[in-house]
Amino acid sequence: MRTSDVVTQLRPRLSLRGRLYLFSGAILILFAINVATSLWGSFARNESSLAYQAAVTAAQLTAELEQNLQSKRQKVLVLATLRESTDDPLDDSELDQARADLDIITERLRQLGGYGGEDLEAYYRRLHDSTTTLMAQWRQFYEGYNQAGPTLPVEDPRSYSDAQQRLRELDQRQSFIAVQRANAIDRTITLTDQITIIGFISSIAITLALVFAMIRSTNASLTRMKRGVERFGSGDLTYRIDEQRDSGEIGDLARTFNEMSTKLQTAIEEMNTARADADSANAAKSMFLANVSHELRTPLNAIIGYSEMLQDELGDETDINREQFHHDLTTIIFSGRQLLTLINDILDLSKIETGKMQVSVEVFSPAALLVQVCDALSPLLTQNSNKLILDIDKDSMRDMESDRGKLQQIVTNLFSNACKFTKEGRITVSAFMNQDSLTVTVADTGIGMTQAQQARVFEAFAQAEANTGLKYGGTGLGLAIVREFCSMLGGSIEVESKPNKGALFRVRLPVAPR
């Protein structure tokens, strides 16, 4: 293969991407070097300033501490002399002032320790031990000054001398370390200044050359992309740039534009799908609102109507028909409970969606609970002439630890659903327990469901068909709440059904919290 052919093959691969990477990388490296050296110099100057300030502050604290020690020792010696020649005690203000002076010395010592570092840790520790011993002797002197007795010991002379010696050693060491740091930082500043100047001048020259070359090569390469960009910009998303015309970076850019166009088309299609889903959801909620309004009006009309009848009957002077009166009150109570159940379902779903629904764990008998629920809901059986078959395996049943109220609502919703969609049929409620779980099954011989209907039967605001709520009543919330409660209790629910063959709902719950 001839050399010219090799160059021709390599040129498209390196024509734009290679040059852009090369030029950009070189400029970035130069820029990074300049920035790094500038930051290095700034950091060194800042360190120099901080080191100088720390050295000055440490020197001031050392001098002040030495002055305080000398002054306090003179006061202690004077007081000791007066104590030997006179019995005049110190008043409270003088004792408080003496304690305050000792506290000031202690605070200065603590502040001096903040400027130590690892190099001065040993020196400061020796100074701290010596000064603490001296301070303890002075405090003992002041505390016993006003007490009658023999002459008080002022201090151990070696304590003061040792403290002064440790203070001078720390001061000398601080000065030595400060000089070393200053020299090292000065050398760093000089070096960074030299590098910054050289790098700045070199960067200007190299950057100008690189920018000029990059502009020429990039302008020639990107002209071929102009037509495709203009087509995309005009809205023609079906247009595709020929990816084989240029290899290397131009081919990558062409593929990127083509992929962008494809993704944009996909996004538009997904947006249309999402809009359709949103419309479907809005329609479902609109249907839910229609069902809710219908369900609310039915018991409310009964409550208002029978209440007005009772009011009129009480207003008449005739004798009250107690049997009819009792029947009307029973209807009002039943309608009120229907209304309360509907409102509770809506509130429960709202709590579930906002995460405010709590689980209250207690120990109870599930067998007794099932019997109680079925007995309380037995009037629902007579509405559609249904029969109840209660099959509880008493041998396997025992107490469980779970949320009694939520299990009761699960069984109530499933039982009510079975009664609502079954006419002149059978409602079978069965239960048994094994070592770990309770299984409750509610089966009916009602209208049943198709596979498609089963797929969305546990969705909120959804019912088997659009006219189900108007034909059979209900809001579509009951089974959604059942599924959420099963999940909250650590269990599961599943459904088996065929059209016109009834439906079976099986609930499995753990017998103890997981």
Which residues make up the CATH 3.30.565.10 domain(s) of the chain?
358-510
Q: Do the beta carbons of residue 414 and residue 505 sit within 8 Å?
A: yes
Residue 484 vs residues 352, 376, 449: alpha-carbon distances, Å: 7, 24, 21
Which range is least confidently modeled, 7-16, 96-105, 108-117, 145-154? 7-16
Cα–Cα distance measured from residue 111 to residue 159, given in angstroms and rounded to the nearest whole number: 21
Give the per-residue pLDDT at 4. Answer: 41
pLDDT at 366 over 90: yes
Backbone Cα Rg of the chain: 46
The identity of residue 353, as a single letter, is E
Q: Do the beta carbons of residue 261 and residue 240 sit within 8 Å?
A: yes
Residue 444 vs residues 364, 394, 432, 498: alpha-carbon distances, Å: 27, 22, 18, 11
Structure tokens given for 421: 């969609």
Give the per-residue pLDDT at 401. Answer: 93
Residue 452 vs residues 52, 276, 288, 371, 498: alpha-carbon distances, Å: 81, 19, 19, 33, 11
Average pLDDT, the chain: 77
**pLDDT confidence of 83, banded at 50, 70, 90?**
confident
The architecture CATH gives domain 237-357: Orthogonal Bundle (1.10)
User: In this predicted model, what pLDDT tens digit does every residue of 29-40 receive, in sequence order?
Assistant: 877 777 777 777
Q: Is 416 exposed, middle or buried, given 0-12, 13-18 or 19+ CB atoms closer than 10 A?
A: middle
Mean pLDDT (whole number) for 144-166: 73
Mean pLDDT (whole number) for 104-108: 83
**Closest C-alpha to 479, from 433, 427, 416:** 416
Give the per-residue pLDDT at 492. Answer: 93
Give the per-residue pLDDT at 386. Answer: 92
Give the per-residue pLDDT at 18. Answer: 65
The architecture CATH gives domain 358-510: 2-Layer Sandwich (3.30)
**Closest C-alpha to 487, from 504, 509, 464:** 509
pLDDT at 161 over 60: yes
Mean pLDDT (whole number) for 417-431: 91
Which residues make up the CATH 1.20.1330 domain(s) of the chain?
10-218
Mean pLDDT (whole number) for 395-416: 91
Which residues make up the CATH 1.10.287.130 domain(s) of the chain?
237-357
Count CB atoms within 10 A of the CB of residue 468. Answer: 19
User: In this predicted model, what pLDDT tens digit does every residue of 317-347 receive, in sequence order?
Assistant: 667 777 777 777 877 886 777 677 777 777 7
CATH code 1.20.120 for 10-218: no
Mean pLDDT (whole number) for 184-211: 76
Give the per-residue pLDDT at 230. Answer: 74
Mean pLDDT (whole number) for 274-293: 67
* pTM passes above 0.75: no
Give the per-residue pLDDT at 426. Answer: 93
Higher pLDDT, 442 or 74: 442
**pLDDT confidence of 296, banded at 50, 70, 90?**
low
Cα–Cα distance measured from residue 445 to residue 454, given in angstroms and rounded to the nearest whole number: 16
Give the per-residue pLDDT at 107. Answer: 84
Cα–Cα distance measured from residue 464 to residue 456, given in angstroms and rounded to the nearest whole number: 8
Higher pLDDT, 447 or 303: 447
Residue 234 dihedral angles phi and psi, to the nearest 5°: -80, -5
Count CB atoms within 10 A of the CB of residue 368. Answer: 12
Cα–Cα distance measured from residue 390 to residue 397, given in angstroms and rounded to the nearest whole number: 14
Structure tokens given for 273: 């799908």
pLDDT at 474 over 60: no
